[in-house]
Amino acid sequence: MYIIIVDAGPEGSSLIDLAVEEGHEVALIDSHEDRARAVLKKHQIRVFQADIAEGAILEEAEASRADALVATTSDDSINLMAMFMGKELGIETLVSVVNEKLHQSLFKRLDVAILGDPEVIIARQLYQLLNRKRN
């Protein structure tokens, strides 16, 4: 599977690690030079140090052959733009972190699989781990 990931923050970096470990082809688009370099040092993947809003960055990343586009930034407007552009380019699977509940409906209109309330999901996982230790 060919996956394009937008942003190499904590979630994006972890996703890159998992996808590469599973043998998937991965490309990263990140506007932060330091994060892009860190990923290049760790993995042999295609890295585009650019803003997703830059005209043809998804085309340069060969979005036409991508199986999935995943946006993991902490900015819903950037994530939404990435999903809209991915939809326009015909990427079949669109997945995004959505940081504000009020924005979820915008992503759903584009038929994006969303991960809402990341903090709550992490808190639940931590709580489950606590309960396992007690039992």
Tens digit of pLDDT for each residue in 5-63?
999 999 999 999 999 999 999 999 999 999 999 999 999 999 999 999 887 999 999 99
pTM more than 0.95? no
Length of the chain: 135
Contact 39, 8 (CB under 8 A): yes
Structure confidence at residue 127 as a pLDDT band (50, 70, 90): confident
